[in-house]
Amino acid sequence: MHVPVVIIGAGPAGLALANFLQKSGIGCVVLEARDRRHVEERQRAGVIDHYAGRLFEEFGLAEQVIGGAPVETLLEIRVEGVPRFLDGPLLSGGRPSRLVPQQFLVRRLITAFEEGGGDLRFGAADVHPHDFAGDRPRVTYRDPDGVTHELTCDHIAGCDGFHGVSRRSVPDGELTTFTFDHGIGWYTVLADAPAPRYPLMAVSRHGFAAQFARGPHASRFYLQHQPGDDPRNWPDAYTWEQLRLRLGDDNLPEAAISGREVVEMRSFVAEPMRSGRLYLVGDAAHIITPMGAKGMNLALVDAYALATALVTAVRDGDDAGLRNYSDTCLRRTWDYQEFSRWFTEMVHDSGDPAPDAAFRRRLALARLDRLFTSPAAGAAFADMMAGTAL
């Protein structure tokens, strides 16, 4: 079978790309390793920033994919239990983000693609991209019945996340990779706790904590923990005690905890984001900390950049967009990496109890205070949270 584009991976990157191509009349096949249920239920991100939301509008998908999602109002940041509020939509000149749990976005993208007649194949094992250095790339895989298939194509989109096969298939020596360990661990728990009135972050000498909505009746909590410690062994009572302490809320009720994950705060970037006719998209090319909620949004913006480049290449024979794809995406990736690191320092250093961290703690508290006292600093922060059209 020959198809213009084979997409490896059905996460936010792969599914957004598939829908953008479908809306543009460019044929594609999506190969996903896991089964439908796993893909549709995996909970991760929760915010689509304003810029990423506009991309769905541009392809006429916004109502179908993010319609009805709650719009961001205020961000609450508590410092030693004292609440302060940032009005992102106001400070960014009317560019609110939307609160969309990642699994809701994925489900709606799957529905939109399949309703449009899209070819999405779950349970694809041993997916391998081949011959992408030439102009006749192909992809092989084994279906759930054990039958091996080969798809010839014009382009391959590696949307298979950090642990996928695409980046690993790039010949040695072609990629330069950058990794950074922020030296911070987050313990994230999913609980049946009512969503907070506003997205909530708290800095305190006990450590960072946060509470974000994940649907109307669930919250994802984040607690900073010392690297090396495994908080998944904490008794739930201790977790709730730490959350009350750090959020400054003695009345925070205990709730059933349904998910526990440890997220080591690390960043990763692979350059360039292509090898011949194989393009790396989203987490396949970069990992960013959840600070600033940019991981999923970077994946969506990469998908948009590749979609528009593929449309002009396949439909008009103009491959300028494909030639510029990597540089375009890397410029935004590094911009968001810098913002995420700046944000990570601000909310973690400001609570660092270590004696030798006293000076950094004062710097971080001054950086945080400026957001509320300087309209220009608040606007710059809100601009990055809204997502920027570089």
Q: Which residues contact ligand FAS by CB under 6 A?
A: 8-14, 31-34, 39, 44-46, 102, 124, 127, 159-161, 164-165, 188, 261, 263, 282-283, 290, 293-297, 299
Torsion of CA 333, 374, 199, 203, to 10 degrees: 90
Nearer to ligand FAS, 293 or 305 (CB): 293
Phi, psi of 387, deg, nearest 5: 90, 140
Least distance between ligand FAS and beta carbon 317 (Å) = 28
Nearer to ligand FAS, 122 or 361 (CB): 122
| Neighbouring C-beta atoms of residue 113, cutoff 10 Å | 24
**Closest Cα to residue 266, out of 184, 325, 181?**
181
Least distance between ligand FAS and beta carbon 107 (Å) = 13
Nearer to ligand FAS, 165 or 243 (CB): 165
Give the separation between CA 94 and CA 193, rounded to whole angstroms. Answer: 30
Nearer to ligand FAS, 26 or 127 (CB): 127
Q: Tokens 């009720």, residue?
A: 253
Least distance between ligand FAS and beta carbon 186 (Å) = 8
Nearer to ligand FAS, 207 or 295 (CB): 295
Least distance between ligand FAS and beta carbon 373 (Å) = 27
Nearer to ligand FAS, 234 or 361 (CB): 234
Least distance between ligand FAS and beta carbon 335 (Å) = 15
Give the separation between CA 344 and CA 342, rounded to whole angstroms. Answer: 6
The backbone region for 76, taken as left when phi is positive above 0, alpha when psi lies in -120 to 50, beta otherwise, is beta
Least distance between ligand FAS and beta carbon 261 (Å) = 5
The residue type of 80 is E
Nearer to ligand FAS, 31 or 255 (CB): 31
Phi, psi of 350, deg, nearest 5: -70, -10
Least distance between ligand FAS and beta carbon 135 (Å) = 23
Give the separation between CA 302 and CA 287, rounded to whole angstroms. Answer: 13
Residues linked to residue 129 through DSSP beta bridges, in sequence order: 139
Non-local (6+) Cβ contacts of 313 within 8 A are 155, 319, 321, 322
